[in-house]
Amino acid sequence: METVLVTGGAGFIGSNLTEKLVDDGANVLVLDNFDPYYDLSLKRKNIAKCQEKSSDQVTVINGSTTDKTLISNVFDNHQIEVVYHQAAKAGVRPSVDNPVQYERNNVEGILNLLEESRKNDVQTFVHASSSSVYGIPHYLPYDEQHPNEPQSPYGITKLTSEHYCNLYNELYQLNTVNLRYFTVYGPRMRPNMAISNFVSRCVNGKPLVIYGDGKQTRDFTYIQDIVDANMRLLHQEGVGGETLNIGSSDNISIRELAEYVVSETDTDVDIIHEDARDGDSRHTHADISKAEQLIGYDPEYGIRQGVQEFINWYMDNQNWYEPLIATSS
């Protein structure tokens, strides 16, 4: 049995990845600081869902990647073969108000992990990066050679973390890979994300709120496609030092998305607009040809199919978020 460390493993992406690793027979160390960025009951449910698979294969460690002593002890006490670094201080908009905290959590945290990984002969280190590193598009879809001009402190911390991963690959031959996620959604997603917020508000008869004119577009990526991309790297050779876009290659405007959710939930609610918020990219759209070529990545879900899957899940699991009703998009 392999031992895999998943940082941020109680979160949306980390817990889905942990479930899949357990299904495939791995022993998983879940490191999470249980940051109350959103209701902690959701993270506890995520962990419980993972442990339902096999409590013997899931070990939960409550702590932060910024705790250097803790990280050192985790690596000393376990023979970790693969690291999936999903943990980060989340939120593009909040990072504009508190850049120092984002720098400490996201950059200092990954440096602690990289140091212990290279000292302990970790086979593969996968870093969850973000399309926010691109910023204002010079052209679309973004390929990995597109200029990096992040428009938020969050995006800057992700780009800095990528550079550190590349450096450790070059200096120490640590097999690092950066995966640039494009707006991930699906079952158990955070309640304050656009899709979960729209669905929740429709079901509860509240108007949908769009910030800006609604013409901004997103390449939304379904969670199972994200998990698939990560799993392809578990035993993949020859991709050390690479950076890969992980998107759906599909995109949709926020206004179209809102209208689609209203239609598919068969509800009669208003769609209203409020002022745009700082830090958001105007458009995102992924060129995934590099990931297709190097790791055989082949996303299964387009945005409409994925949203329908999420709506179906939500209708069967409304108590997952209750009594939480998101109030912003």
Q: Which residues are catalytic?
A: 154
Identify the bridge partners of residue 29 per DSSP, sorted by sequence position. 5, 59
85's tokens: 């670094």
Residue among 5, 15, 18 nearest 76 (CA): 5
From the number of C-beta atoms within 10 Å of its C-beta (0-12, 13-18, 19+), residue 307 rates as buried
CB atoms within 10 A of CB 100: 8
29's tokens: 């160390």
State whether residue 41 is helix, strand or coil.
helix
State whether residue 150 is helix, strand or coil.
coil
What span, in angstroms and rounded, lies between the C-alpha atoms of 1 and 51?
17
Handedness of CA 48, 50, 56, 61 (dihedral sign): negative
